[in-house]
A and B are shown apart, each in its own frame.
Chain A
Amino acid sequence: MALWPIHMLNSLLYASTLFLIAGGLSLIYGVMRIVNLAHGSLYALGAYVTAWTIGQVAGGAPPAVLYALLPVGAIVVGLIGAMIEPTLLRPLYQRAEEYQLLVTFGVLLILEDVMRLVWGPYPISASQPWEFLGGSTFFGSRYPNYNLLVIVLGFIVAVLLWAFVYRTKFGVILRATSQNMRMASALGVNVKRVYVQAFALGCFMAGLGGALIVPIQSAVLGMGVDALIIAFVVVVIGGLGSLEGALIGALIVGFVRTLGITLFPEIELAVLYIIAAAVLLIRPTGLFGRA
């Protein structure tokens, strides 16, 4: 097993992107109690926007410009999130949660086709940022430097997010709203604004996941629908609404999936869903969730 360091790095890479997607999903659920079925499609949209910007619009630009353009996908997705919340979700807070689920399912259907409409049915890639960085040798195996960068960035985002939620005033407001929306509102918190910001931030993270992964793998139709279901597994394991949970869940899923693909490829996906179902049965609030 001379390949084990590579497997470890690959699972960290996978965990890093998964954390970005699932962390956003969990943040939105934690603050607003909304399960955003369109979250995977927002991740895909981030990948498409970045791939299109880097690969086609600024194709010949110097490397530094391309790296600076990477977050464009995340910013666009964050802005779209800021538009979705007040128009589509806000009218539904008084209604049963089934309706919120359905509206986000509607957004999913629309986004999937908008991507097909704008970028066509073929995958689009933007591999220059990946190629420029070359690779390093670990225990006799080559590993791309860009992948290492994504791993590092994933953990930097996790730390920043933690600091943001637990060490800033906005984080206090966010947590207060999450715990008791009415009490926060009575204390003078502008809940409407917090909801827009939380939703946009969650969407931004999904878009960032897509933007960072697209130099490694092309943006394809259907990637969002696949990503959402894995992100669900992550948040279910970690606990809906918990950021620490999303991080641990992403690491668990990352390792299980990388192990699974090498050791038991036929049932690697089934194993993930079974783990999620088992966690729900034993601890319905997840490993880190609150009741």
Chain B
Amino acid sequence: MPAAAAASPLRSLAYAVPVVIILLMLPYVVTPYQTILMSYGLIMAIAALGFNLLLGYTGLLSFGHSAYFGLGAYVVAFMVKYLHITSMELFLIGGLIATLLVTAVFGIICVRYTRIFFAILTMALSQVVWSLAFKFFWVTGGTDGLRIPTPTILNGLLTVPKNKIAFLSNTYYYYVLIVFIIFVALMWVIVHSPFGQALQAIRDNETRAAFLGVRVRRARWIAFMISGGFTGVAGILWAPLNGLTTPDILYWPFSGEIVFLTVLGGFGTFAGPIVGAVAFNYLKTYAVGLTVYWQLLLGSVLIVLVLALPTGIMGTLGRLTMTIKGEEGK
């Protein structure tokens, strides 16, 4: 299931513009709670988009993306606690540099292997990060985590409402939305660039790609860094929104969640991870609100999904439109 290779920029914009307009109007239409919920969804979408560069486009299943998400969030917390920085832009720069440094090292190690060994290596390395955050409690706050206060935006250029809810549901929502749009556009450019095509060639046939002159391991390594960087940015944005970062976001089931929501949306398409992240966010929030046994519900959804709808929401929608179009053509 290759991602729509022939997608022209104009056609993609035709889908994207109405979605962006809806997202821009959201704070005026729905309650602050709903807006904040959407912020979480958009943030997870950035993480999933990065994750899917590896799974959907390069054919590598990472089970350790919690490490890069958590790293982004913890770097923000460290910058607050030890450097007394509150600027959101500095968080983004600092967090991204730290995430890229770590992914560069982890990447060199992980891209030597593929398939199940890659999955286990990424998982083992993410667990190293988790255990450090868990054990060095005098630095990281241990299981209590670290608090992140309201950040300043654009060096105080934008006045930040004193009310935390007002800030999160309005100023910060738009901030997240803008970063989200920038990173979606960036990912779109990446996967449609010659580099993105090379990754898909590697996924489909590694040997053939190598014979065509693609430096397979180097391409995988760069994809790994981009993927981790995206997920790190998601963690950075998540930290002030959540206000608290704990080792839970570094533990391996969180990596499973990232895999889950990507498969939910459909990893064969560009928009799949975005749709999956937003849908999963609603699903999880309502399942948690509905019952203490939300994991039971999510686990059942996952199993049904894998057994009955392996192409996810977007893949299934795509197939339905194809069927309808095919019938119209007759």
Contacts and interface: CB of A to CB of B under 8 A. Distances in A.
A117 B302 contact: no
Nearest to B296: A113
Contact of A281 (B109, B119, B134, B306): B109
Interface residues of A, number: 42
A4 to B, nearest CB: 24
A84 to B, nearest CB: 10
Given A98-B55, A105-B259, A116-B292, A277 B121 contact: yes
A152 interface: no
Contact of B124 (A92, A117, A236): A236
Contacts, number: 119
A109 B135 contact: no
Contacts of B252: 225, 229
Interface in B121-167: 121, 123-125, 127-128, 131-132, 134-136
A62 B246 CA distance: 46
Interface in A272-290: 273-274, 276-277, 280-281, 284
A112 to B, nearest CB: 5
- The binding surface of chain B is classed by DSSP as helix
Given A97-B116, A106-B299, A113-B293, A280 B124 contact: yes
A102 B260 contact: yes
B263 interface: yes
Contact of A269 (B55, B120, B134): B134
Interface string A113-124: 110110000000
Interface string B63-75: 1000000000000
B132 A270 contact: yes
A75 interface: no
Interface string A11-39: 00000000000000000000000010100
A108 B116 contact: no
A99 B310 contact: yes
B113 A280 contact: yes
Interface string A129-141: 0000000000000
Interface size class of B (residues with CB under 8 A): 35 or more
A232 interface: yes
A223 interface: no
Contacts of A88: 303, 307
A109 B305 CA distance: 14
Contact of B131 (A35, A236, A270): A270
Nearest to A35: B116
B128 to A, nearest CB: 4
B318 interface: no
A229 B134 CA distance: 15
Interface in B276-302: 292-296, 298-302
A108 B109 contact: no
A79 interface: no
B263 A102 contact: yes
B296 A280 contact: no
A273 B129 CA distance: 10
Contacts of B253: 108, 225
Contact of A109 (B55, B116, B134, B299): B299
A110 B299 contact: yes
Contact of A102 (B123, B251, B296, B302): B302
A91 interface: yes
Interface string B248-279: 00011100100110010000000000000000
B258 to A, nearest CB: 11
A150 interface: no
A284 B252 CA distance: 21
17 contacts: A35-B116, A98-B61, A103-B302, A103-B303, A105-B259, A106-B303, A109-B298, A116-B292, A225-B251, A225-B252, A233-B124, A269-B127, A270-B128, A270-B135, A274-B128, A277-B128, A284-B117
Given A102-B306, A280-B117, A284-B113, 5 more contacts: A101-B259, A108-B299, A225-B252, A267-B135, A270-B131
**Top 7 closest pairs, chain A to chain B, by CB:** A109-B299, A269-B131, A106-B302, A110-B299, A113-B296, A106-B303, A109-B295
